[in-house]
Amino acid sequence: MQPVSNRLQGVLKDISGKVSAPAQVLIDCGESGINIRPKQYGDFGSHDGIGAPIYLELYEGELRLIVWSDINQQEPTHVISLEGARESLRIASVTDTPSSWIT
């Protein structure tokens, strides 16, 4: 299997309307995971400007979001399993199905 790498760039605007400076974000999509790199944010083990405090990976069949919310901590501050968000686990009711949201 050949390594796959794609880079996306984006700008996030503050939805509160109180801060006028947008945040620039790089997203590196690779075969082993997705790095989300907001400008001026990083992680403990990376040099300034190249760190990724947010990482999405598939580990032993489990989709996980890994976050380093403290640049001074070597280990991730949060490892969040997304398994409970699988669409196949949705409990549907007659009044709470996505098709009922459409008028």
Confidence of residue 1 (pLDDT cuts 50, 70, 90): very low
Query: How many residues are recorded in the chain?
Result: 103
pLDDT computed for residue 42 by the predictor: 97
* pTM score of the predicted model: 0.79
pLDDT in tens, 27-69: 999 989 999 999 999 999 999 999 999 999 999 999 999 999 9
C-alpha 87/C-alpha 97 separation (Å) is 12
Q: Which long-range contacts (CB under 8 A, 24 or more apart) does 57-63 make?
A: 57/32, 57/33, 58/33
